[in-house]
Amino acid sequence: MGKTCYYYISMKNLYKKSMFLMYAILVFFVPILFTPFTQEAFEFPKITLIYVLGTLIFSLFLLFNKKLQFRHFNLVIPLLVIYIVSTLFSLDVYTSIWGYYSRFMGLIAFIFFVFLSYISSEIFSKDDFYKLFTLSLFSTFLVSLYGIFQYSHVERIYSTIGQPNWLAQYLLLSIPLIVYLYVSKKFSFSKPFYIILLILYTSVFMSFWLSFSLSGFLGLFISLFFFPKGDTKRYMHLLLISLVIIFTNFSFFSARVNDTYIDVKRFITESFTVYAEDSYLISDPGFIRKEVWKGTINIFLASPKNMLFGIGPQTFPYVFPFYRNALLNYSSEWDYIINRPHNYYLELLVELGIFGLLAYLYLISSVFKKSPDYLKPVFIGFFITNIFGWPVTSTSLVFWLLVGYINLKSLSKDSGGSS
């Protein structure tokens, strides 16, 4: 009996250590992984690693847990069900299952993220999550350094994430956590650790700024109103570092602001001019998004089926050409294939239908409500940047692990609030 009990305990310890190791590999390597050997250098290798380790994680979980009990995970179920239903009614079921070519973020990817989140909330403790988030910060540091070195030969860095706006959104998930660790009066770290945090913040914020992402900057600005109170002197340290980085690398950002001003002005006055006019210094992102969003709404309104069930996950690029506004032919991306609405909420609306969007809004509002104060700016930045983009593999992994952590906290007495 004693040997059997010892064997059982040993197996459980090995099981948990193995699961933690696989999650640690995902958290650390997914953001930094890319390869020159595939046509899609960034998203394909990242999602492939998630599929491989995710399969092992799920298989091992089923081996030690005969039943799936979605306790306190009901907030995700409506979105998962709608995702499946929309896939069944999709105009291209294969694409909806596996995802649009080169992105591969269809139903299968969504299921993997949901179950990775669910399993983490079932088997990990708070300390386990803290270790994973710490490892994530170290990975973010490497991503930032690579982006900074990349700046010598590109105008806007994208590092190992693949695109400047994606990079900004990914880094925005870490910046509030670094700030919280540095300014919070709840901690009493040693002086070398505070120096490490300053180095970490400097590299991450510099990489964030050099992406010159207006959506990322807007997300950070709005999230500032949700930052928890802390040591004023330490806040001033971070502000000084931020201002030095901003004003020593401002020229390209000012050009982007100029283009945004022109876009807003034309949006208000409804005056149309050709993209090539000299008033634009770089590009016309606002004009492009306006026309893409109008076409997206037209797809949604095209039929009751589209409004209720959507056109199917990841099928937007198949449908949009039939609703493409001719004015896009006068934009800087006149010859591009538009494969996303560049607004995640509109993307959900048109691909999953009205109930899909409502289910997602229910999910994120519930997560935000349950989250502790120090995580609220993380979610705010994520929600804002999704108005102008969408979550890719790296950001999705972090987001769903945060969802798992929030659901873990909902089991304890100190969930939410200022913890």
pLDDT for the residue 262: 67
Interatomic CA distance for residues 318 and 324, integer angstroms = 11
Which parts of the chain sit beneath pLDDT 70? 1-9, 70-72, 252-284, 333-334, 409-419
The DSSP letter of residue 374 is: G
CB-based contact 231:181 (threshold 8 Å): no
Region class of 212: left (phi > 0), else alpha (psi between -120 and 50), else beta: left
CB-based contact 372:416 (threshold 8 Å): yes
Interatomic CA distance for residues 146 and 132, integer angstroms = 21
The residue length of the chain stands at 419
Each domain of the chain, given as residue ranges in start order, spans 18-419
pLDDT for the residue 281: 46
pLDDT for the residue 414: 45
Closest CA to 254 of 204, 208, 201, 209: 209
pLDDT for the residue 37: 83
